Amino acid sequence: MTTHFGLVIVGDEILSGKRADKHLAKVIELLGERGLQLGYADYVGDAPERITATLRRAFASGDAVFSCGGIGATPDDHTRQCAARALGVELALHPEAAALIRERMQDTAREQDQPFEPDRPDNLHRLHMGVFPAGARIIPNPYNKIPGFSCAGSGGGMVHFVPGFPIMAWPMIAWALDHYYAHLHGTVPYVEKSVIVFGSMESLLIPLMEEIERTHEGVKVFSLPSVDHPEYGHHIELGVKGAPALVDAAYARMTAVLRSMAFTLGPELVRN
């Protein structure tokens, strides 16, 4: 079975525009470096019922999903609680997470030349960041030791929860990709081949696109129109994507038909 990768980005600040999302582009990059692809992305605000519903779908999907944000211990952080609700399990302080959080508190006290007071109210509150759904496994955080966590659902989906801060989230996602999915790296060869088509409308190309997908199983056709490209002006980028051997045959057929239709063709593009 093919493993599909998904991304969930949590936070009102993204949907309100207070902060721009940086995770989508980076996760695409991290996957691409390993010969993998992102299948979908969901954005959800800080509404517990929506987060729970989104995570319930992720756990039931059979996919590998990364969830960024909302795992802190402030009142607007709901992701840990919603994950437990979606799984139908209790929350519990993870022993290894607790030990790492205490290490971080000791480091902070040392840096500030202060005594470490583990029972101080603010330090006890910090332990809430290690309260995960029962059965969770930790994701190491190389930035400040406060871990994320991974949970598997009964539907086969596995969700990896990391903070919203890119400086923490990105190395943690990379760790999860290398720890859980190293066997998938580079196993699905992929290429895109496309050509710039001048002087056509998308409606004229639809029959060709349908023919290519019908006669070349395993290949996806895409069409990207542009009206104000700085170099090519009004044009359509028409292409095919999939396994290299399948793409080569489909692309050859596509370009042959385009030439027979007397369209003016521009540069050819290849993306791996």
Give the start-to-end residue ranges of the domains of the chain. 5-184, 191-271
Q: How far is CA 21 from CA 18, 54, 74, 176, 185, in A?
A: 10, 18, 21, 21, 26
Q: How far is CA 214 from CA 162, 207, 239, 245, in A?
A: 41, 10, 15, 17
Q: Work out the percent of the chain whose per-residue pLDDT is above 70.
A: 100
Topology alike, domains 5-184 and 191-271: no
197/205 Cα distance (integer angstroms): 10
- Position 188, amino acid: V
CATH for 5-184 is 3.40.980.10
Half-sphere exposure (CA, 13 Å, Cβ side) for 95?
1
Residue 223: strand, helix, or coil: strand
Residue 1 reports pLDDT greater than 80 = no
Other Cβ atoms less than 10 A from the Cβ of 189: the count is 13
pLDDT number for residue 271 = 87
160/80 Cα distance (integer angstroms): 11
Tokens of residue 165, six digits: 């801060």
Residue 49 reports pLDDT greater than 90 = yes
110/233 Cα distance (integer angstroms): 60
- Position 204, amino acid: L
Question: pTM of the prediction?
Answer: 0.84
Each residue's pLDDT tens digit, 155-179:
899 999 999 999 999 999 999 999 9
Other Cβ atoms less than 10 A from the Cβ of 46: the count is 19
Each residue's pLDDT tens digit, 119-136:
899 889 999 999 999 999
12/192 Cα distance (integer angstroms): 35
230/111 Cα distance (integer angstroms): 52
Q: Which CATH class is domain 191-271?
A: alpha beta
How would residue 232 be classed by pLDDT, with cut points 50, 70 and 90? confident
List helix spans (H) across the chain: 12-15, 23-32, 48-61, 79-87, 95-111, 121-126, 166-180, 202-215, 244-260
Each residue's pLDDT tens digit, 187-211:
777 899 999 999 888 999 999 999 9
71 and 51 Cβ atoms separated by less than 8 Å:
no
